[in-house]
C-alpha cells in the first residue's frame, strides 16, 4: 500500500504508542483498502458497496481473518497482535462478542502498526493475503 500521508513518527515513537492508537489508524487503512478493492472489482452502487464492505470490516470477519493469517505472521507481528488484543478497551461491542472485538482490535492494531512504521511491503502482503483467505 503506497503511503497516503506523510508519517512523521519514528518507528521508536510508534512502538511506544498505545495499541489502541495503532488500531485507530489500522481501522481506517483497512477500510480504505477494502473499499478500494470493491470499487476496483465490482460495479456496485454506493449502498451496495457499503453492504459488501461490512462483510470484511465487521469485528467477526476481522477476528476470522486474524485467525487465518496468524501462523504466517512474524514473531514481532504476533507480539503486536498480542499487545493489541490485551489492551484494555472500555468500548462495548454492539454487534459482536467481547472476544471477537478483542481480536478485531488486535488485527486493526497490526495493520495500523505496519502502516505507521512504513512497512508498506509487508502491509501489502498481509492485505492481499486477506483477499485470498476470505
pLDDT digit string (tens) for 61-105?
Answer: 999 999 999 999 999 999 999 999 998 776 666 777 888 989 999
Closest Cα to residue 65, out of 104, 96, 33, 31?
A: 104
Catalytic residue among 27, 75, 79, 124: 27
- CATH code (residue 46): 1.10.1520.10
Indicate whether 9 belongs to any domain.
Answer: no
Q: Please give the residue range of the domain that contains residue 89.
A: 31-133
Closest by CA to 22, choosing from 95, 90, 107, is: 107
> pTM value?
0.90
> Are the CB atoms for 116 and 105 separated by under 8 Å?
no
Q: What is the pLDDT of residue 8?
A: 85
Is 41 a domain residue? yes
DSSP 90-123: -PPPSSS-HHHHHHHHHHHHHHHHHHHTT-HHHH
The answer to the question of residue 51 being in a domain is yes
Average pLDDT of the residues in 103-114: 97
Residue 3 has pLDDT above 70, yes or no: no
Is 20 part of any domain? no
Q: In the annotation, is 27 catalytic?
A: yes
- Please say if the pLDDT value at position 127 is more than 60: yes
pLDDT for position 81: 97
Torsion-angle region of 118 (φ positive above 0: left; ψ -120 to 50: alpha; else: beta):
left
State yes or no: pLDDT of 47 exceeds 90.
Answer: yes
pLDDT at 90: 62
- At residue 121 the predicted structure's pLDDT band, cuts being 50, 70 and 90, is very high
DSSP labels, 41-63:
H----HHHHHHHHHHHHSHHHHH
Give me the number of domains the chain comprises. 1
Please, which pLDDT band fits residue 130 given cuts at 50, 70 and 90?
confident
**What average pLDDT does this structure show over 101-117?**
96
Average pLDDT, the chain: 90
Structural domain contains residue 19: no
Amino acid at each position: 500500500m503506497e503511503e497516503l500521508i506523510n508519517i512523521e513518527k519514528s518507528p521508536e515513537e510508534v512502538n511506544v504508542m498505545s495499541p489502541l492508537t495503532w488500531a485507530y489508524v489500522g481501522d481506517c487503512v483497512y477500510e480504505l483498502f477494502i473499499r478500494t478493492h470493491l470499487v476496483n472489482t465490482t460495479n456496485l452502487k454506493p449502498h451496495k458497496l457499503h453492504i459488501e464492505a461490512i462483510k470484511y470490516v465487521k469485528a467477526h470477519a476481522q477476528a476470522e481473518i486474524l485467525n487465518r493469517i496468524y501462523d504466517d505472521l512474524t514473531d514481532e507481528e504476533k507480539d503486536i497482535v498480542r499487545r493489541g488484543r490485551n489492551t484494555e478497551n472500555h468500548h462495548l461491542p454492539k454487534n459482536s462478542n467481547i472476544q471477537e472485538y478483542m481480536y478485531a482490535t488486535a488485527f486493526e492494531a497490526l495493520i495500523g502498526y505496519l502502516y505507521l512504521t512504513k512497512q508498506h511491503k509487508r502491509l501489502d502482503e498481509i492485505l492481499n493475503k486477506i483477499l485470498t483467505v476470505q
